Structure 1
Amino acid sequence: MAVEPNRDVNAHVRRLWRHRGTTVPTPRRGPRQQLDLDEILQTGIAIADAEGLAAVSTRAIAARFDKSSMVIYPYVGTKENLLALMQDHASAMPSWDDPGASLADALHAWAEALFDVYLAHPWLTDRPWSQASQGPNEQDWLERLLRILDAWAVPPSARPSTVTMLYATVRATAGTAAAYQRMNQQGMAEWRERAEATMKLIPDLCQRYPMSTRLEPVTPRWQDAPRAGLAGAVELLAAALGSAGAAAGPRLG
């Protein structure tokens, strides 16, 4: 017996790939094309950027258009589908040229570009990998990274781990950088107060933890530490990948 296709899934995939060859399903009820899907998603992204992912709802988005939440549903489907559409829409990859000087430079350009996207939309790092959108914009990032690894002859067996390490590092450092940006004067004062109290109440802290307490900061300005840490991590990873093929330069053609 043939299994009927899931129309909700099909509709969602058509929305995800609407600019790459599919057509957006039109609402079945009410006047057609009252709203534009891109505008709906941009509105949801603006809400998430300003107030966090928890503030996003069809009701909140609809209010921006002076509509009811029921008007939004036919355009996006379920709440999870809405978030996935927003995620892919916000992940659009900017254009840049891959540096040809070294594998480290090419990886750093990729990582910096993704870091900036995550920093512009911090809620993207709140979305777990299990909720990847499977949309074209997110796919672009992976394809671009794999093309870099292929161009520099990184062994295929090393590519999955490299992808995992890079994505994890970019997400973690961008999330920290975003948290630093949100930290106000009170938050910084509380952090210093805790640090001073720890040194006072645990006077032998440096003796207990000699390695960690003597660790040199990655950069003098603590707010810049996440980005600087990302750059250092990419350098270490590129060095570890420094096989004969990668060290010989990019593969041409």
Structure 2
Amino acid sequence: MMDIDAHVRRLWRHRGTTLPVPRRGPRQQLDLDDILDAGIALADAEGLAAVSTRAVAAAFGKTPMALYPYVGTKEHLLALMQDHAAALPDWEDPATSLADALGAWASALYEVYLAHPWLTERRWSQATTQGPNEQDWMERLLRILDSWRIPAPARTPAVTMLYATVAATAETDAAYRRMSQEGMSEWLAQAQATARQIPDLARRYPLSTSLEPVAAQWQDSPRASLTAGVGILAGALEPAAG
């Protein structure tokens, strides 16, 4: 329980809790924000798999054990990084429509995911997170739904759909950005090979092969899909608001 208490104190260190301090040796040799910044920079550059207490500690010339009093376990480190990277930016909620207000929220979270693509691997439902920045995102979204008088029974499904849609589209967008020219060529080559080998593909799958693109450029499809998806959800919620 003490480890959990210490983790919560670290998460909420800028919102009223006091940081646990090392029991041995000089106090505050390291700054927790600096540690998390180093971990986030490593994850941004090399992916979440590259992050370990050893790798982060090495950035400060420390051993993994020296880092433990500051962050706890590796899972605690990742949860702290997640919340630290997900700080809520400033924006005004559009008052023009529910779709615009939800779209602004979704777009802001989308940009956070693009800045830190590894966040899509860290689910908001993970119990070790529950930090202040995560709570800020949830509260901001629920405030929008409340201001547009969306009934309480519809709010939880709406929140689930919005988080899932933002994460999925941002993950696809990030994957497109990482795709090399060779990867794009291979994708196109396979599509062409499929057309040659399965000439009646359109007859077999008439609906899926006739889908209209949501954007002129395929690289823009994830963001366009997010915008369209938020609009569809808002359209479904508005009648419930009466």
Q: 1:150 aligns with which of 134, 146, 151?
A: 146
- For the residues of structure 2 that align with 1:69 and 1:142, how far apart are their CA atoms? 33
Identity value in percent: 70
Kept in 1: contact 2:124–2:134 (CA 8 A) = no
Alignment-derived partner of residue 159 in structure 1: 155
Alignment-derived partner of residue 185 in structure 2: 189
- 1:140 is displaced (CA, Å) by 0.4
Deviations 1:170-210 (A, max 9, x none): 00000000000100001001100110000000000111111
Alignment-derived partner of residue 14 in structure 1: 9
- 1:129 is displaced (CA, Å) by 4.0
Q: Does 1:175 align with 2:182?
A: no
Letter in 1 for 2:76: N
- For the residues of structure 1 that align with 2:195 and 2:130, how far apart are their CA atoms? 48
Q: What TM-score comes out, normalization by structure 1 length?
A: 0.93
Alignment-derived partner of residue 76 in structure 1: 71
Letter in 1 for 2:164: A
Alignment-derived partner of residue 209 in structure 2: 213
In the TM superposition, 1:54-133 aligns within 5 A as 54-132=49-127, 133=129
- For the residues of structure 1 that align with 2:18 and 2:219, how far apart are their CA atoms? 44
Letter in 1 for 2:6: A
- How many residue pairs match? The answer is 241
- For the residues of structure 2 that align with 1:159 and 1:66, how far apart are their CA atoms? 48
159 and 244 in structure 1: CA distance in 2 versus 1, 3 angstrom threshold: closer
Letter in 1 for 2:49: A
- For the residues of structure 1 that align with 2:186 and 2:150, how far apart are their CA atoms? 46
Q: Could you tell me which runs of 5 or more consecutive residues in structure 2 were left unpaired when the two chains were aligned.
A: none
Q: Could you tell me which runs of 5 or more consecutive residues in structure 1 were left unpaired when the two chains were aligned.
A: 1-5, 247-253
Letter in 2 for 1:189: S
129 and 140 in structure 1: CA distance in 2 versus 1, 3 angstrom threshold: closer
- For the residues of structure 1 that align with 2:82 and 2:23, how far apart are their CA atoms? 25
Deviations 1:103-155 (A, max 9, x none): 00000000000001011111111113442510000010000000000000011
SS for the counterpart of 2:15 is coil
| Aligned-residue RMSD, C-alpha | 1.1
- 1:244 is displaced (CA, Å) by 6.6
- For the residues of structure 2 that align with 1:58 and 1:100, how far apart are their CA atoms? 45
